[in-house]
Amino acid sequence: MRAITFVIPMEPRGKGRPRATSIAGRARQYTPAKTRAWEAEFAARAERYMPADQMIGCVALMAVFVFKRPQRL
């Protein structure tokens, strides 16, 4: 079994709630721009660590997120 370990130095953020709008009388939902930008940047940084060969079999993921302590606490 091979382990891939990496750190992505980004401020973690929760996924933005989907927004809804009406275009030409039809409802449409979309992801907020800040969420899309964060996800794209995270994917670009994580892609650097993707192995060149295809992974076959079971995959396990352990993610650790470190948040700043809220100022109110």
Residue 17, CA atoms < 13 Å, CB-side half-sphere: 2
Span 43-72, pLDDT tens digits: 999 999 888 888 888 888 888 888 889 899
**What are the b/e assignments for 43-61, b being 16+ CB within 10 Å?**
eeeeeeeeeeeeeeeeeee
Prediction pTM value: 0.72
pLDDT, tens digit, 9 for 90 and up, residues 17-48: 888 888 888 888 889 999 999 999 999 999 99
